[in-house]
Amino acid sequence: MTRVTRGYIARRRRRKNRSSVLGFRGAHSRHTRTINQQKMRALVSSHQDRGRKKRDFRRLWITRINAVIREKFIYNMSYSQFINKLYKNRILLNRKILSKIAISNRISFYNIIFRVISNNIRKFRLILLIINIINKLIECANNSTKLPGN
């Protein structure tokens, strides 16, 4: 019986599979069967890691917030107590935003902690107004220090 060469469809399918494993080493990027196995394994890992990335970032934000809260012993509060009081005072800031504020602008984060501790809404609104003014001044200062032409 004569040898039958397959048509272009199978070649096209294999070439498409090969293009997704170009950086793999050894047989993982050369042999069709191991290419398919490694491609499936990579897809499974990427699916798992998308969820893991969300968990890792949440852990990072919580660690940053906790570090800033415990840095000053004036407030004498833990992370869980802080989040609990945030919810009780109906301050809807998520952990990502809180960690950004904690790193970039400590004064405003301390003001948020102060608001959580004291339940005076007028003071908090005034503090937020002052924080916004300070942030605008900082942005203006940063923009004026840029070199012309950038």
**pLDDT averaged over the chain?**
84
> Longest C-alpha distance within the chain, in Å?
92
Mean pLDDT of 20-41: 91
Residues 93 and 86: beta-carbon distance below 8 Å: yes
> Alpha-carbon torsion 64, 86, 76, 133, what sign?
positive
Calpha distance 93→52 (Å, rounded): 23
The gap from C-alpha 121 to its chain's centroid, in whole angstroms, comes to 31
Residue 9 falls in which region: left (phi positive, over 0), alpha (psi -120 to 50) or beta: alpha
**Lowest-confidence segment of 35-39, 124-128, 136-140, 143-147 by average pLDDT:** 143-147
Whether the per-residue pLDDT at 101 is higher than 80: the answer is yes
Least confident of 8-12, 55-59, 72-76: 72-76
pTM metric for this prediction: 0.63
Contact 78, 70 (CB under 8 A): yes
Query: What single-letter DSSP state applies at residue 144?
Result: H
Within 10 angstroms of residue 124's Cβ, the number of other Cβ atoms is 18
pLDDT reading at 147 higher than 90: no
Contacts of 24 (CB under 8 A, 6+ apart): 35, 38
